[in-house]
Amino acid sequence: MSLLERRLIRETRFEFAAKLWQISWIYVLLLCALAGVGYLALYSAAGGSVQPYAGRQMMRFALGLAVMLGIALIDIRVIARFSWLAYGAGVVLLALVLRMGHVGKGAERWINIAGMQWQPSEFMKLALVLALAAWFHKASWERMGNVLFLIPPALAVLLPVALILKEPNLGTAVITGTVGLAVFLGAGMRWWKLALLVALVALAAPIAYHHLHDYQRARITTFFNPESDPLGAGYNIIQSKIALGSGGLWGQGYLHGTQGHLNFLPEKQTDFIFTMLAEEFGLVGSLAVLGLLALIITGGMLIGLRCRHQYGRLVALGISANFFMYVFVNIAMVMGVIPVGGVPLPLVSYGGSAMVMVMMGFGVLMSVHVHRDVEFAGDRDEG
């Protein structure tokens, strides 16, 4: 081996070690703590057993953690270069779901890849954030005021939203659209345009309601009056409220939740995992979990604020907004604040592809943090 080759190897090792050192390990510990909460909850959901939920969940988290750290070491400029390619791949996968997807709970949402079932809508949300950040990272304030400049990214949001609605998956479609809107606002879209959009959505809501599937309309009707069908469409939310209330201040104790362990609480390992935590650990435990979730969301936003390039700021905003929307929709859903929509609590609810995709998103967020000071050519143009 020549002297030059040995020198290159030493420099590569030094750069690798330097990037590992710059990873926010406190943030990684927060994610591990949240996954630990998920392990405890899934262990309880199985009646005090590692199988079938908790053990598999930890294996998936370990895989996701390795993926996250691997992505964190990739230069964010390389990720930016492939943003629109990832978006195109996401659209193709969504189209494949409609053609050859697997049906689950009345909807085609999964495709089989390498022997595992994947939900392309999860990947699409991350790809959408990357694509929008790549579009906006050169945009000046003046250009953001140009309606023609906003049409292509608006269509880029509407296309996956329409494909996800076609599955149908209303909850994920709403989250995807909201995440796209968050990136628009972060890039400098005028607030009056947001107000106009909200007004248009409100006007279109009655028309859209008549095009929903029967079970989706039933969820909305039940939301306003769950007692109208206590053994049918209203059963889930009624049992969830009972479990939340029975937890009291300190909870009934770990592994002693009555609603969960007597199987009154539906989908306790996925959609209603937070309800089971609240029943066993009470208001105090619930607030502790909410505090942990808030730290993760705030940490993601702070990573964006510390980033010197616009691409990284928008990516951090989009990924944090996606995580926030998942948390908000899930917890509001189990409390009866919004209609039940089948949205899991990230890193806590049982799930495979969702876990890996969430960790991929956090890997990109870590890459933004590690490469926060890199020079991003043409971060702003003159519009």
What is the strand order of the sheet 102-104 is part of?
102-104, 107-113, 116-118
Query: Given the structure tokens 């990924």, which residue do they identify?
Result: 319
| Range with top average pLDDT, 108-122, 185-199, 228-242, 265-279 | 265-279
Bridge partners of residue 102, in order along the sequence:
110
Residue 4 belongs to some domain of the structure: no
More confident of the two residues 234 and 215? 234
- DSSP H or E run through 112: strand 107-113
Measured from the Cβ of residue 159, the count of other Cβ atoms closer than 10 Å reads 17
What pLDDT, on a 0 to 100 scale, did the predictor assign at position 383? Answer: 42
d(CA 356, CA 36): 16
- The tally of CA atoms less than 13 A away on the side-chain side of residue 71 is 20
More confident of the two residues 157 and 168? 157
Contact 383/375 with Cβ under 8 angstroms? Answer: no
Closest CA to 132 of 183, 91, 86, 82: 183
Contact 238/207 with Cβ under 8 angstroms? Answer: no
Residue 41 belongs to some domain of the structure: no
pLDDT tens across 324-337, in order? 999 999 999 998 88
Query: Given the structure tokens 């917890």, which residue do they identify?
Result: 331
212: confidence class by pLDDT, cuts 50, 70, 90:
low
d(CA 177, CA 271): 21
Strands 102-104, 107-113: pairing kind: antiparallel
What pLDDT, on a 0 to 100 scale, did the predictor assign at position 103? Answer: 55
Residue 176 belongs to some domain of the structure: yes
pLDDT higher than threshold 90 for residue 167: no
Closest CA to 153 of 126, 122, 187: 187
Residue 40 belongs to some domain of the structure: no
Measured from the Cβ of residue 293, the count of other Cβ atoms closer than 10 Å reads 24
Contact 167/123 with Cβ under 8 angstroms? Answer: no
d(CA 369, CA 19): 10
Question: How far is the first Cα of the chain from the last one, in angstroms, to the nearest whole number?
Answer: 51
pTM: 0.90
Residue range(s) defining the domain that contains residue 222: 52-370
pLDDT tens across 69-119, in order? 999 999 999 999 999 999 999 999 999 888 775 555 555 566 776 666 778
Count how many domains the chain has. 1
Residue 35 belongs to some domain of the structure: no
Residue 295 belongs to some domain of the structure: yes
Give, to the nearest 10 degrees, the angle between helix 273-306 and helix 25-45.
Answer: 170
Angle at 94 between CA 79 and CA 31, to 5 degrees: 50
Residue 17 belongs to some domain of the structure: no
How far from the centroid of its chain's Cα atoms is residue 22's Cα? 24
What would the mean pLDDT of 187-195 be, rounded to a whole number? 80
d(CA 297, CA 123): 19
Closest CA to 319 of 356, 364, 373: 364
pLDDT tens across 347-379, in order? 999 977 788 889 999 999 999 999 999 887 655
What type of residue is 271?
D
| CA distances, 299 to each of 25, 240, 365, 381 (Å) | 12, 30, 10, 29
Residue 33 belongs to some domain of the structure: no
Contact 372/312 with Cβ under 8 angstroms? Answer: yes
Gyration radius (Cα) of the chain, Å? 22
